[in-house]
A and B are shown apart, each in its own frame.
Chain A
Amino acid sequence: MTLKIIVMMKQVPDAEEIFIDPVTYTLNRTAARGVINIPDENALEIALQIKDKVGAEVTVISMGPPQAEEAIIECMGRGADRGILITDRAFAAADTYATSLTLAATIDKIGKYDIILAGESTTDSGTGHVGPGVAEFLDIDQVTYAESAEVVDDKIRVKRILEDADEVVEVPFPVLVTVLTGANIPRRATLRRKIDAIKKGIERWDHETLGLPPDWIGIRGSPTIVGAVKVPEEKKRASKKISLEQIPEMIDELFEKGIIKREDGA
């Protein structure tokens, strides 16, 4: 029996290229290039390493606008076998609940799976909440913040990195694993595989394919809303320019203000 792995991937605007319209406070997405969310690349790489070692069928799913297709092609170019784009205007403005529900419904429709992999958070919204939300909807176990993972019989063995400890856990299938940024070095896509992927095509599913009522998804299915947006108030700083010669003076000031303290506490 071939292992079945699903990788949840999101196309995000390149963080370096994001800019905010100063009047409307909205994200100017047209200016930013779409890239694969960084830890999702690491999640895909773990899936492909498992495929190399023990054999697996790797399906990449992504929820997003039609142009997210190029990110799925890139994943298939690296070695994923199947790509599904979950795209529908009705999914817009989904919060973590509605997003998790939509992804879980997609996985449910795919049917059989052993391992679900995803990046631990996205660089554009960064909640880290969608992975565990999907696991809860699917009623399966989860392992978060993985640095590496390998298949041992019918279990996955994961090294996870926590604030105060490194943990190794073993969990039977099916299981969802979220992967840390920098967990590995993702392989490059080959042109031949990319062409194959384009020929094969990407499946496109909408809310009807998934059998999700419109009031379960997008903004209507989201318990949280964005009430207002503000630009953070920056504390005005003096930005006092100091030359090498003025450093002693600056240090004096820091002592006088008590920012640096003398050894005798004065």
Chain B
Amino acid sequence: MSKLINCVPPENIEEYKNVMVYVEHRNGSIVRGSLEMIGRARVIADKVNEKVICVSLGDNLSPIAEEAGTYGCDIFLGAESPEHRYFRSIPYAHKITDFIEKYKPNILLISGTREGRDLVSRIAVRVRTGVAADCVELDVEPKQRLLISWRPAFGDKTINQILCRKHRPQTVSSRPGSYPVPEKIPGRKCEVRIEKVKLDEKYLKHRIVSRKPKEKLDLTKSDIIVSGGLGLGKPDGFKLIRELADVLGGDVGASRPVVDLGWIPYDHQVGQTGQTVRAKLYVAAGISGKIQHVVGMKASETIISINNDPDAGIAKYSDYFINADLYKAIPIMIDEIKKRKKGSGGAKKSS
């Protein structure tokens, strides 16, 4: 039984007000992507004098509501059930759709995590609206309360402005890591409405047989990242990368080819199909500078690249371009940093 239907716009879009955020959480705290969305929703809501409404599902939502409040949420809507402990597409999409139909938000922001992307287009089809997918910039035109979303296209070679003029809510999935986490304001007022719900038996046919949590490296939180690429020449090269990262107190990143080769696990991958990072210091060693990698690291503050090819594309994205063999350059860097780290006066001109 299908329900094919075109995207009929609502009659009175003036009825749609406020900015809704879908809040995803793990182990009792909100995931970074959703915090970014609450922060962005706050900015947009303030511009048009509206409220930020957070919606969330789970088995214990009070701590989530409290956290959402401190980050800028005005109204928290929750649906609590022991069966909501784990995400399931259909019941989640149904419940969020109920909230949308009841509260009629003008804008709906969802962080484009795997859960978010699983959910967002089901919701959009249900409420018959469009999605601006994978956006990296969001703003509002205050007069018409029109959301202006920007999404990279063609491997991030251009950025397209996406508008949804006639349909509501104007729905967005945002690329995680595109925004900073907002400031916390402890004790900020937030109205909390959490209802207990019972999950329809039929949804439990979608059985979660097992769930193995894994330690995942979250590079979006790292201040210092040292990444390695094909120029390492061998999987062992990551030992040297790790050594430099350790001396700097940072984490290890990688470009896609070396992840595909199995030299290092996927959670180290920076770039279009990996993580988007904004480090204070990013070191790219043996990385040629293909756009797919660059889009994931170019928002970093200071970038150092090391490459023995004088024409390497990475140079133009770098503040410092060490044009040398990385196996010679990195040991020097490690030594020089170690000397100065100790703080024994060695930080001035040496060697």
Contacts and interface: CB of A to CB of B under 8 A. Distances in A.
A222 interface: yes
Interface in A165-222: 165-172, 181-182, 213, 215-216, 221-222
A254 interface: yes
Interface string A120-159: 0001111111101101111101101100000000000100
Interface in B238-285: 248, 260, 272-273, 280-281
A244 B329 contact: yes
A181 B318 contact: no
A104 interface: yes
B154 A18 contact: yes
Contacts of B86: 167
B131 interface: yes
A59 interface: no
Contact of B113 (A18, A163, A223, A242): A163
A215 B6 contact: yes
Contact of A251 (B89, B152, B337): B337
Given A27-B154, A129-B133, A252-B349, A97 B210 contact: no
A144 B162 contact: no
A164 B32 CA distance: 13
Nearest to B215: A164
A95 B210 CA distance: 35
Contacts of A244: 322, 324, 328-329, 332
A224 B280 CA distance: 36
Contacts of A127: 117, 121, 131, 133-134, 173
Nearest to B250: A260
B234 interface: no
A105 B336 contact: no
B196 interface: no
A134 B112 CA distance: 18
A100 B125 contact: yes
B163 A224 contact: yes
Contacts of B329: 244, 247
Interface in B179-215: 205-214
B102 interface: no
B4 A229 contact: no
Nearest to A228: B161
B323 A139 contact: no
Nearest to A224: B130
A133 B207 contact: no
Contact of A167 (B6, B210, B342, B350): B210
B316 A223 contact: no
Contact of A15 (B93, B122, B155): B155
Nearest to A127: B133
Interface stretch (B35-43, B65-73, B164-172): B164-172
Given A135-B122, A137-B3, A171 B205 contact: yes
B7 A97 contact: yes
Contacts of B162: 224-227
A238 B248 CA distance: 22
Given A223-B130, A240-B320, A250-B320, A266 B343 contact: yes
Given A237-B317, A247-B336, A141 B206 contact: yes
Nearest to A101: B4
A259 interface: yes
B121 A229 contact: no
Given A164-B26, A247-B332, A229 B161 contact: yes
Nearest to B302: A259
A170 B329 CA distance: 51
Contacts of A242: 320-324
Contacts of B321: 239-242
14 contacts: A128-B117, A136-B93, A136-B121, A137-B3, A141-B206, A225-B163, A226-B162, A229-B161, A230-B158, A241-B323, A243-B323, A250-B322, A257-B302, A260-B337
Given A248-B332, A251-B336, A259-B301, 6 more contacts: A20-B158, A96-B130, A97-B124, A97-B129, A171-B206, A224-B164
